């Protein structure tokens, strides 16, 4: 169920507690670009590390690389991004607002009766499939679709708009800007494809094997909305799994199951996820699906699993003129491997975990009204694992607390705080999702016990100070 209020609360909470800020906020921000603050950066890093470990450490046959953002411009010709990575757009001449044609028509369809809406969408789909831009414009005009800002139907022609950002490389200005043109990568996957043989040979990798990487990708999204759901600069975590031609269906099923298990291991219930199989496949794919999560805006894609055939390697071989075949010693045969890809957005995963973790709890009793906002992150990804809180700033309590902090900090991220009442300090830790708080008091001096408080249940117990490190370590153990 879509819940716009919850989304707004999460956005406000992220800003107030140092998770996510709008980029260049003091200049009124930059559209669909965000910065991660002190807790957001930790959360994001923990998710990235967990994914990286699940791929490269928990599988013998998957290795990780870190390819550059800039690549030879021909890479994007070969991958199809120069010609195909675009959306048909239309501008309203009066408001100067630009629309994605399918979004404009879909929004209009929502205002119609079901039968009329279905007919309109069916017509749109066939025009889109045929790249019939004149037909799309006629469809918009025939249906008297208006701009929501100017309320006029004064439209330009429909044009393709490429989503890649381009810049120039090198110091010498050229008369022909195309000469020095380089792109900011729109996906990390191509850095893996062009390094396929480098890694296979130097790592003596045998098929089936995978190459993983995480990194920034850039897309000039036209309709960028939904907080960090659709950004112009974002991070992907992708893995290309190279397999024998003919075995791709099995591996596709394997990766669907494996990736869903990874999602469930984040403590998110099954009913908050669903698979969405692609009916209309991209030209390079022979099977594709999304893992969708039930965001505050409803079910939306968080990860894609694509069986990409030999499309990318074959095209890179053709465009580069370099052989990209693999010699299979078991079959005594050279071939271009097929690829099954898993591709997840890191920022979308952050948003998924925030949506799942964010809770407003009413703690009122008969005596007094009370409430808290808590982020119930799995301990593994929580930005801070343990808050160490001396009850008083005196009587040797800070010294004991600092000693515990020094013991724990090489293993996980701790937070030390001695200001304010203990209740206020607990609430602040709830708001940033710290799973454990430990309080040092006078009894600690007598019997070396501390009070440990559990974030989710808000229960407390006394344990020996020497047990604290072990207890937290156990809770953040991933595998």
Give the footprint of ligand GAP on this chain (CB under 6 A): 187, 189, 219, 221, 230-231, 234, 236, 238, 301-304, 341, 343-345, 347-348
CA 287 – CA 305 distance, rounded (Å): 8
Helices assigned H by DSSP within 240-345: 248-264, 311-320
Least separation in angstroms between residue 183's CB and ligand GAP is: 14
Choose between 263 and 453: whose C-beta lies nearer to ligand GAP: 263
Query: In the Cβ-directed half-sphere of 49, how many Cα atoms lie within 13 Å?
Result: 14
Q: What CA–CA distance (Å, rounded) separates 390 from 421?
A: 10
Residue 102 or 187: which CB sits closer to ligand GAP? 187
How many residues appear in the chain?
479
Give yes or no for a contact between 348 and 112, defined as CB atoms under 8 angstroms apart: no
Q: How far is the CB of 100 from ligand GAP (least distance, A)?
A: 13
Q: Smallest distance, Å, CB 187 to ligand GAP?
A: 4
User: How far is residue 228's CA from residue 237's CA, in Å, rounded to a whole number?
Assistant: 16
Distance CA 424, CA 458 (A): 13
Nearer to ligand GAP, 69 or 422 (CB): 69
Q: Compute the least distance from the CB of residue 288 to ligand GAP, in Å.
A: 9
**Residue 18 to residue 23: CA distance in whole angstroms:** 13
By C-beta, is 135 or 226 nearer to ligand GAP? 226
Using the minimum distance from each CB to ligand GAP, give the nearer residue, 221 or 286.
221
- The H or E element that residue 478 is part of is none
Closest distance of CB 143 from ligand GAP, Å: 29
> Got the DSSP string for 31-64?
TT-EEE-HHHHHHHHHHHHHHHIIIIIS-TTEEE
Nearest CA to 93 among 188, 157, 187? 157
Residue by residue, what is the 3-state secondary structure of 123-168? HHHHHHHCCCHHHHHHHHHHCCCCCCCCCCCCECCCEEEECCEEEE
Cβ(182)–Cβ(73) under 8 Å?
yes
Give the shortest CB-103-to-ligand GAP separation in angstroms.
14
Inter-residue contact 342 to 359 (CB < 8 Å): no
123 vs 278, beta carbon nearer ligand GAP: 278
- Rounded to the nearest 5°, which phi and psi values hold at 284? -95, -5
Beta carbons within 10 angstroms of residue 436's beta carbon: 23
Q: Which is nearer to ligand GAP, 298 or 396 (CB)?
A: 298
Least spacing, CB of residue 234 vs ligand GAP, in Å: 4
341, 306 Cβ separation under 8 angstroms: yes
Q: Which residue number, 187 or 430, has a Cβ lying nearer to ligand GAP? A: 187
| Residue with tokens 């001449």, as numbered in its chain | 93
Between residues 344 and 354, which has the closer beta carbon with respect to ligand GAP? 344
Least distance between ligand GAP and beta carbon 122 (Å) = 25
Q: Which is nearer to ligand GAP, 108 or 219 (CB)?
A: 219
User: Least CB distance from residue 18 to ligand GAP, whole Å?
Assistant: 21
CB of 23 to ligand GAP, least distance (A): 14
């Amino acid at each position: 169920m879509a819940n716009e209020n919850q989304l707004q609360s999460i956005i406000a909470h992220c800003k107030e507690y140092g998770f996510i800020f709008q980029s260049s906020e003091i200049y009124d921000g930059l559209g669909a670009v965000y910065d991660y603050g002190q807790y957001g950066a930790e959360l994001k890093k923990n998710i990235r590390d967990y994914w990286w470990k699940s791929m490269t450490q928990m599988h013998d046959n998957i290795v990780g690389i870190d390819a550059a953002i800039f690549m030879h411009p021909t890479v994007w010709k070969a991958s199809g991004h120069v010609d195909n990575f675009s959306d048909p757009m239309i501008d309203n001449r009066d408001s100067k607002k630009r629309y994605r044609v399918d979004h404009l028509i879909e929004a209009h369809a929502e205002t119609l009766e079901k039968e009329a809406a279905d007919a309109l969408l069916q017509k749109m789909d066939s025009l889109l499939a045929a790249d019939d831009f004149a037909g799309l414009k006629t469809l918009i005009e025939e249906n008297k679709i208006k701009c929501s800002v100017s309320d006029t139907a004064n439209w330009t022609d429909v044009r393709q708009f490429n989503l890649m950002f381009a810049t120039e490389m090198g110091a010498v200005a050229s008369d022909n800007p195309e000469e020095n043109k380089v792109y900011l990568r729109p996906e990390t996957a191509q850095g893996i494809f062009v390094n396929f043989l480098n890694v296979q040979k130097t790592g003596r990798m045998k098929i089936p094997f995978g190459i993983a990487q995480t990194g920034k990708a850039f897309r000039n999204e036209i309709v960028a909305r939904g907080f960090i759901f659709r950004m112009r600069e974002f991070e992907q975590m992708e893995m290309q799994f190279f397999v024998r031609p003919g075995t791709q269906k099995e591996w596709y099923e394997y990766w669907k199951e494996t990736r869903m298990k990874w999602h469930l291991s984040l403590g998110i219930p099954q009913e908050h996820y669903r698979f969405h199989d692609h009916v209309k496949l991209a030209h390079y794919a022979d099977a594709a699906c999304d893992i969708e999560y039930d965001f505050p805006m409803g079910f939306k894609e968080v990860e894609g699993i694509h069986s990409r055939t030999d499309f990318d390697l074959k095209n890179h071989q053709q465009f580069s003129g370099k052989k990209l075949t693999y010699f299979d010693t078991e079959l005594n045969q050279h071939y271009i491997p097929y690829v099954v890809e898993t591709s997840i957005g890191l920022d979308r995963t952050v948003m998924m975990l925030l949506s799942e973790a964010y809770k407003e709890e009413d703690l009122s009793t008969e005596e007094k009204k009370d409430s808290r906002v808590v982020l119930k992150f799995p301990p593994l990804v929580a930005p801070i694992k343990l808050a160490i809180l001396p009850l008083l700033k005196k009587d040797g309590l800070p010294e004991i607390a600092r000693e515990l902090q020094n013991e724990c900090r090489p293993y996980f991220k701790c937070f030390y705080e001695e200001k304010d009442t203990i209740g206020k300090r607990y609430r602040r830790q709830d708001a940033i999702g710290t799973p454990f708080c430990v309080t040092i008091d006078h009894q600690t001096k007598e019997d070396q016990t501390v009070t440990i408080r559990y974030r989710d249940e808000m229960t407390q117990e006394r344990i020996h100070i020497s047990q604290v490190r072990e207890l937290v370590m156990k809770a953040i153990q991933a595998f």
